[in-house]
Chains A and B, each alone.
Chain A
Amino acid sequence: MKALLLIFSLLGCTIQLPGQQVDILPKGKEGIYKAEFNIRGTKINGFLAVKHKRNDALHVSFTSPMGNNLLEMQWKKGRWKKIYAIKKLGSRHVYGMMAEDILLLFAHYQYDKDFVDLGNEWKWKKKTLIPTFAEDNLAAVKVVSRRHHPTKTVKYKHRHERIANLSIYHQGFPFSIVLEPLKKK
């Protein structure tokens, strides 16, 4: 029965086409983003510096506009390692949500061994990710967690074939991250 359902879902799905772009920050690339974190209603502005390393590690640092580090962590071999976090961002619950949201924002789950591409939907750590594409670019990913858990939506806005804005919102919970890449001078 399960096999039949799998075959049916594979036949019925819109398989990701070769030209469709799901890499938000390709391997070896780095970027600095204007960032707004909304943590339970408290908004913190700053900058998020991100590097997708050659070994698929994702190194991120959130700094205040004054330049001091608020949070720094690295995702490597399927785990986050906290390098530094201020008290406000370092609690297990907040840190855990931010860490997962950053992976979702940069679609970095695709480099995790638990990621399964089923075509029209993706599976990652008991979550179902439903992508939508616009003009071959990843436009949104709906995250459906286990029952009773709030869902999240990741959105990508493109301008001139580049990402102009990426955001993640939790449904029914005041937690969000909005990023805008800084224009290079």
Chain B
Amino acid sequence: MLKSTTFFLFILFPFFLSAQDWKTLNANDAKLFELKSALAKMGAVKGDIKQEKAFAFLTEKLVSEGVFFYQKESKLRWEFKEPIEYIILINENSMRLKEEGEEKKYKGMNQILRQVKEIILGCIDGSIMSNSNYKTAFSTDGKSIRIQLQPKAKNLKEFIKQIDVEFLKEGSVLKKVTLTDSSEDRTDIKFSNVVVNQKVDEGAFTDF
């Protein structure tokens, strides 16, 4: 009996450890101020993106890969190259979308695109941390800072249940964004080869 209990504790030990890894941070914690001020100094960011969507009813994952470019204040190019070509261009107040070589203009999707814009830009520049539309919780595992956001509005809750944003503590670089929707499906967006404050050609935000 003792042996089996020890065995189970041994098996579960890594899970206890990982659960303890994230320590809650107070909203006034100095680490968060450091992160906010570092993000405020970021004029431009670019890097690679790898998005993995896990469906609750499927074993297979949907993997999309591409690049992103961001320039202050609100300029963004979000481009998936595989498995389909999909480009979102945000240039101040304008937003354009190209899918599979065709520019899209559809009215019914405006609400979704507005949310996508708010979430992506908010995660990159950190403004989502102080967005009053979300209930926020902060934590750290020593290497990263995690911000967990839950939408307050009913229409937003229908669209998304939770957003987890992780920044590397060193360099305050965006590491990962996890979107959990109301059906518990999760979308992980991992960022790599991130380069900060290197000038991005203006055409990246205007031309497909």
Please report A residues at the B interface, Cβ cutoff 8 Å: 30-32, 34, 36, 42-45, 47, 49, 51, 59, 61, 63-69, 72, 83-84, 86-88, 182-185
Interface check B10, CB cutoff 8 A: no
A47 to B, closest residue via Cβ:
B62
9 more A-B residue pairs beyond the given contacts A64-B112, A65-B86, with a C-beta to C-beta distance below 8 A: A42-B106, A42-B108, A49-B55, A49-B62, A63-B62, A66-B187, A68-B187, A72-B183, A88-B106
Please report B residues at the A interface, Cβ cutoff 8 Å: 51, 53, 55, 57-60, 62-64, 80, 83-84, 86, 88, 99-100, 102, 104, 106, 108-109, 111-112, 116, 159-160, 179, 181-183, 185, 187, 189
> Which of chain B's residues have a CB closer than 8 A to the CB of A69?
181-183, 185
> Which of chain B's residues have a CB closer than 8 A to the CB of A45?
84, 86, 99-100
Q: B53, A67: Cβ atoms under 8 Å?
A: yes
A61 to B185, CA, bound (A): 10
Q: A68, B160: Cβ atoms under 8 Å?
A: yes
Q: B83, A182: Cβ atoms under 8 Å?
A: yes
> With A43-B104, A59-B57, A66-B116 known to touch, is A83 a contact of B84 (CB < 8 Å)?
no
> Which of chain A's residues have a CB closer than 8 A to the CB of B58?
30, 32, 49, 51
Query: Which of B63, B159, B183 has a CB less than 8 Å from the CB of A83?
Result: B183
> With A45-B84, A182-B83 known to touch, is A67 a contact of B59 (CB < 8 Å)?
no
Query: Which of B55, B80, B88, B181 has a CB less than 8 Å from the CB of A68?
Result: B181
Tell me if B's interface is mostly helix, strand, loop or mixed: mixed
> Which of chain A's residues have a CB closer than 8 A to the CB of B183?
61, 69, 72, 83-84
> With A43-B102, A51-B58, A185-B63 known to touch, is A67 a contact of B51 (CB < 8 Å)?
yes
Task: Please name the 6 residue pairs, one residue from A and one from B, whose CB atoms are nearest each other, closest first.
Answer: A88-B108, A67-B187, A65-B86, A45-B99, A67-B53, A59-B57
Shortest C-beta distance, B20 to chain A (Å), equals 30
A173 to B80, CA, bound (A): 32
A183 to B83, CA, bound (A): 9
A84 to B56, CA, bound (A): 14
Q: B60, A30: Cβ atoms under 8 Å?
A: yes
B80 to A, closest residue via Cβ:
A65
A104 to B172, CA, bound (A): 50
Between A and B, 8 residue pairs with Cβ closer than 8 Å are A31-B60, A34-B83, A44-B106, A61-B55, A63-B62, A65-B99, A67-B179, A67-B187
Shortest C-beta distance, B67 to chain A (Å), equals 14
A87 to B159, CA, bound (A): 11
> Which of chain B's residues have a CB closer than 8 A to the CB of A84?
182-183
Shortest C-beta distance, B151 to chain A (Å), equals 13
